[in-house]
Amino acid sequence: MTESTTRHGAGPDRGTGAVVVVAAALLDRGRLLAARRSAPAELAGRWELPGGKVEPGERPEDALVRELREELGVEAETAERIPGEWPLKPGYVLRVWTARLLSGEPRPLEDHDELRWLARDELDTVDWLDQDRPAVAEAARRLPGV
Ligand code: DCM
């Protein structure tokens, strides 16, 4: 979460009123990036697709590019929306896009304490957040192998 998110509050979806959290299935060289959360305590140690809350007036895809820049220090572009929407805590929903790395090597700058590039046959080697699992499974179909 950024300071501006804290000050202004995250943007609710016009249709449902839920706050939209966007996350990236960041794909590069046949692998998917997994990020281990360092906070809050109830999520720390679990792995997720990196992302964060959409701010008021912000396009979801722009929010995702911003979050990847802030959290990982990379430039990326969104590619394809993974169909579906997954409930988080009450009032929050998760939407996921595949994304391509344009420049930089991801580093855990905020919210995470470890990053791993996983090949398709390695995706179940980390303990994904339950709510991220359907999108990870869908993203796996975009990876080479088996
Ligand atoms: N979240 C999630 N899965 C993700 C990204 C975020 O479940 N891939 C959840 C964790 C937080 C909320 O969304 O409850 C907001 O995320 P953040 O704290 O990273 O802004």
* Residue 7: predicted pLDDT: 42
- Contact (Cβ atoms closer than 8 angstroms) between residue 37 and residue 111: yes
Cβ count near 41 (within 10 Å): 8
- Contact (Cβ atoms closer than 8 angstroms) between residue 143 and residue 32: yes
Q: What is the CA(58)–ligand 1 centre distance, in A?
A: 17
Which amino acid does the sequence have at 57? Answer: G
CA distance 30 to 122: 12
What ipTM was estimated for this complex? 0.94
Q: Structure pTM?
A: 0.91
Q: Pairing mode, if any, of strands 19-28 and 51-53? A: antiparallel
Instruction: Reply yes or no on whether the pLDDT at 17 is more than 90.
Output: no
Q: Of 25, 12, 20, whose CA–CA distance to 88 is shortest? A: 20
Q: Does ligand 1 have an atom closer than 6 angstroms to the CB of 133?
A: no
Q: Of 58, 65, 93, whose CA–CA distance to 79 is shortest? A: 65
Q: Does ligand 1 have an atom closer than 6 angstroms to the CB of 111?
A: yes
Q: What is the CA(107)–ligand 1 centre distance, in A?
A: 18
Q: Does ligand 1 have an atom closer than 6 angstroms to the CB of 63?
A: no
Q: Which of 64, 88, 128 to mutate to test the pocket of ligand 1 (most atoms within 8 A of CB)?
A: 88
* Residue 127: predicted pLDDT: 98
CA distance 145 to 103: 25
pLDDT tens for each residue of 110-140: 999 999 999 999 999 999 999 999 999 999 9
- Contact (Cβ atoms closer than 8 angstroms) between residue 50 and residue 24: yes
